[in-house]
Amino acid sequence: MISLERLQEIEPRLQGKTNEELIKIRNLLYGLGQLSLEMYLKEKTGSKFPVRVGGLSNDDM
């Protein structure tokens, strides 16, 4: 999990935010990342939870 300090380093406009606000922002960013991954997997495989991720078969592992 990204630290609140690192989050502020990445985006300097967050410097004045409270820890509670930063936690909410971080949680929203993780949610956005999860949604993006699910949409990508669904587009590539037809399922949000594919058995084979990224087109790899069991023989590839």
In the structure encoding, which two tokens stand for residue 49, read together? 């939870």
Q: Is the dihedral of CA 57, 51, 37, 34 positive or negative?
A: negative
Say what the pLDDT of residue 27 is: 96
In the structure encoding, which two tokens stand for residue 54, read together? 């990224």
Helices in the chain by DSSP H: which ranges? 4-10, 19-45
- Residue-level pLDDT, tens digit, the chain, 61 residues: 899 999 999 999 999 999 999 999 999 999 999 999 888 888 888 776 666 655 555 554 3
> How do the domains of the chain map onto residue ranges?
4-60
Specify the amino acid at residue 13.
R
In the structure encoding, which two tokens stand for residue 32, read together? 């956005």
pTM of the model: 0.70
